[in-house]
Amino acid sequence: MQDMHEPSPEFTRFLEWQTRTTLRRGDRFADDRPASSRLPRLARIAALVLASLFAGAGAVVAAERIQESRELEVLLEQNRVRGELAARRVAAAKELEAAARRAYEMGSQSITSTFGATLRVAELEREAAHLELDRAELVGARREVDLRLSAPLVGTRDLVSEHLRVDAAYHARVLEVRETDEAFATAAYESGVVPRAELRRATRLADAVRLDVRRTEERLALRADFAVGRIEALDCERRDLVGGAEHRKRALESSAKHLRESLEEARIIESQGMGTGLVQPLEMELDLVEVESDLVELELELLR
């Protein structure tokens, strides 16, 4: 493949034609001076050719830089617009959360009804924080955002770790909500207010977030090892891929566990004639989870 900094074939052919024409014209009107006296003229022609070649290459580089600059401007403008929208969404979500809490304090709805509003605020604040870090990288590094664990620092800032800490803070907030929901569901189930399925739902959601917390902590530790030079870039990225697959494996195993519990309960309900059509959907869902788990296991074998 042709180097982007080399002149195009068309430009080179045109330059060769110009050189040959110039030489022919010089020979046509040349005097009878010896060849040694014509060397300066040939040297000037050669210098002109080289200058033209370098000018062509320089024009390519300049055009490339202009294109890169325009792409960066587009990325910065996109980031600005998305940042403004994110800030407005956060403000609107906080108003809804405050309204939900007021309704709870007035006794018109339960505390669990506020959980969705709280989670929405956390999600949008996380998005806004990531956009701010993206902008810092666009401005500081003058390139697209690089979220690999082996990405270089941007100046003196470790923006990859900062992104991961944003995720860690988000997961901590979500876990607080999910564990509160789990505690309420446990108390309600023990009081006979809700069925066991409601408790199982709350526990399943809390377990999923606990796994997310663990995964983020693992990635922060891996990034720290790379930053101090304990591991090389390729090994860092391979370990991150393995960690991601292991995280999916743990999540699927947790889902399978909860599905088996639900399936056992559904079979009891159907056997007692208290319901129908409960078992088959759960069996199908469990089969899909187990197949996916086998695929992730195969992926882990290939990565290791």
Q: What is the pTM of this model?
A: 0.76
pLDDT score recorded for residue 87: 97
Long-range contacts of 11-20 (CB under 8 A, 24+ apart): 11/56, 12/53, 15/49, 15/52, 15/53, 15/56, 19/45, 19/49
Gap between the Cα atoms of 61 and 43, Å rounded: 27
The predicted pLDDT at position 113 comes to 83
Helix (H, G, I), strand (E, B) or coil at 154: strand
Gyration radius from the chain CA atoms = 33
Q: How many CA atoms lie within 13 A of 303 on its CB side?
A: 19
Q: Is 205 exposed, middle or buried (0-12, 13-18, 19+ CB in 10 A)?
A: buried
CA 1 to chain centre: 31
Backbone φ and ψ for 63, nearest 5 degrees, come out as -65, -40
**Taking the chain (304 residues) in consecutive chunks of 10 residues, what is each chunk's mean pLDDT?**
53 56 53 54 59 57 68 94 97 96 90 91 98 97 95 96 98 97 95 93 96 98 97 97 97 96 93 90 96 96 89
CA gap 23, 15 in Å, rounded: 12
Q: Do the Cβ atoms of 106 and 100 come closer than 8 Å?
A: no
pLDDT value of position 70? 87
At residue 278, φ and ψ (nearest 5 deg) are -90, -30
Please give the span between the terminal C-alpha atoms of the chain, in angstroms, as a whole number.
Answer: 35
Q: What is the pLDDT of residue 69?
A: 83
